[in-house]
């Protein structure tokens, strides 16, 4: 049997049946070559019979693998996806071109699984060691200085970094309690973490790759349920003060220039609720998913550098107090995970995977 015939057999197999298991092509081609060498001088029908028999074995084996769940799917077809959950942490890893998802809870059970999204399908990752957690109070962001995704979680408090293949444990310091906000600050070239310290007072910490170091800036805001994101020129922090202002609870917007916090005074405030935020460089805005405190409905707001504007997209991700938002540089879209995987075009949300359409 010549090389053209052998290749034609595999082209047929791949086109009409599916991709063979890893290494199968090489093993079968080697077997066919061996059979051809042994059968030189035999009738062509004999060689054709050998080829047909080998192909039948390969087909049967592949079908069994497929039924057992071990058969890779063709590119673009649905793959296994993370089970439904809340409180997952997500971050985009530009070096590997992956959206990284970790943990969360499902039916009250803490999850510690790692998934990556390559733009077409989810891939379940199985690193030898994973962060442990029993809480949805976690946050992740990408650290371009060290080219890793940094994840901080509580109960127990721990910091881990993901390099695309393994999780590496860092500090075990219990530096915050309750909701936290995390973002990379280009002004300091460091990952910053905002949350309540052991005393309940708000703290700001800087990550050096090993431990968190307190940062003591002037005018540190005291906000509950805050979200933090770079807005193209400074770090933006939004949330609600733990105390009433003027006899009522309101939201506040603060900016960090690398040294000092400054309260901004936009004409329109965000509604009270919980927040997930990410910078959208394609549209030069900060996109915030708000789950309102009064109606528990989800809303989309954008910050243009000086003011807040409520968007009215044709499609809106369902309410979820623990949704996570990040920017996917590969897709040039803000990505939201919560009730499925959604992308933001600048005017509307599109459900990419999971959830109800």
pLDDT digits (tens, 9 = 90+) for 173-194: 777 777 899 999 999 999 999 9
Q: What φ, ψ does residue 50 adopt, rounded to 5°?
A: -60, -45
Contact 159, 141 (CB under 8 A): no
Structure tokens at 193: 């973490």
Pairwise CA distance, residues 231 & 287, whole Å: 9
SS3 of residue 52 by DSSP = helix
Residue 215: how many other CB atoms lie within 10 Å: 19
State the DSSP code for 245. B
The pairing of strands 223-230 and 235-241 is: antiparallel
Residues 6+ apart with CB under 8 A from 56: none
Pairwise CA distance, residues 57 & 17, whole Å: 13
Confidence band, pLDDT 50/70/90 cuts, at residue 49? very low
Confidence band, pLDDT 50/70/90 cuts, at residue 250? confident
For the stretch 5-17, pLDDT in tens is 444 343 333 333 3
CATH H-level superfamily of 89-353: Kelch-type beta propeller (2.120.10.80)
User: Model-level pTM?
Assistant: 0.76
Q: Where in the chain is the domain with CATH 2.120.10.80?
A: 89-353
Q: Give just the sign of the alpha carbon dihedral 42, 45, 47, 50.
A: negative
Q: How large is the angle between the packed helices 44-68 and 24-38, nearest 10 degrees?
A: 160
For the stretch 18-32, pLDDT in tens is 334 444 444 444 554
Pairwise CA distance, residues 155 & 46, whole Å: 68
- Chain CA centroid to CA 24, Å: 33
């Amino acid at each position: 049997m010549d090389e053209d015939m052998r290749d034609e057999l595999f082209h047929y197999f791949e086109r009409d049946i599916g991709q063979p298991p890893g290494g199968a092509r090489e093993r079968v081609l080697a077997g066919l070559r061996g059979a051809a060498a042994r059968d030189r001088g035999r009738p062509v029908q004999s060689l054709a019979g050998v080829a047909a028999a080998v192909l039948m074995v390969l087909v049967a084996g592949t079908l069994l693998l497929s039924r057992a769940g071990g058969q890779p799917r063709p590119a673009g077809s649905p793959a296994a996806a993370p089970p439904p959950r809340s409180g997952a942490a997500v971050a985009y890893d530009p070096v590997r071109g992956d959206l990284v998802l970790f943990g969360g809870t499902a039916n009250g059970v803490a999850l510690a699984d790692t998934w990556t999204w390559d733009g077409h399908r989810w891939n379940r990752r199985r690193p030898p060691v994973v962060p442990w957690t029993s809480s949805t109070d976690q946050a992740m962001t990408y650290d371009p200085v060290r080219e890793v995704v940094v994840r901080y979680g509580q109960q127990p408090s721990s910091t881990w970094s993901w390099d695309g293949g393994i999780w590496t444990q860092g500090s075990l310091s219990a530096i915050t309690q309750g909701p936290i906000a995390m973002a990379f600050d280009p002004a300091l070239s460091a990952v910053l973490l905002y949350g309540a310290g052991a005393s309940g007072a708000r703290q700001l910490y800087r990550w050096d790759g090993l431990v968190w170091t307190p940062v003591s800036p002037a005018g540190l805001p005291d906000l509950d349920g805050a979200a933090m994101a770079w807005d193209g020129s400074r770090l933006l922090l939004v949330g609600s003060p733990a105390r009433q202002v003027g006899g009522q609870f309101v939201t506040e917007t603060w900016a960090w220039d690398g040294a000092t916090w400054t309260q901004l005074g936009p004409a329109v405030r965000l509604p009270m609720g919980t927040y997930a935020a990410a910078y959208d460089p394609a549209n030069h805005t900060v996109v915030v998913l708000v789950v309102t405190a009064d109606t528990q409905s989800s809303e989309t707001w954008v910050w243009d550098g000086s003011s807040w504007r409520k968007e009215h997209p044709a499609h809106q991700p369902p309410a979820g107090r623990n949704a996570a938002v990040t920017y996917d540089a590969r897709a040039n879209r803000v990505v939201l995970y919560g009730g499925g995987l959604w992308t933001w075009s600048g005017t509307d949300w599109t459900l990419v995977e999971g959830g109800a359409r």
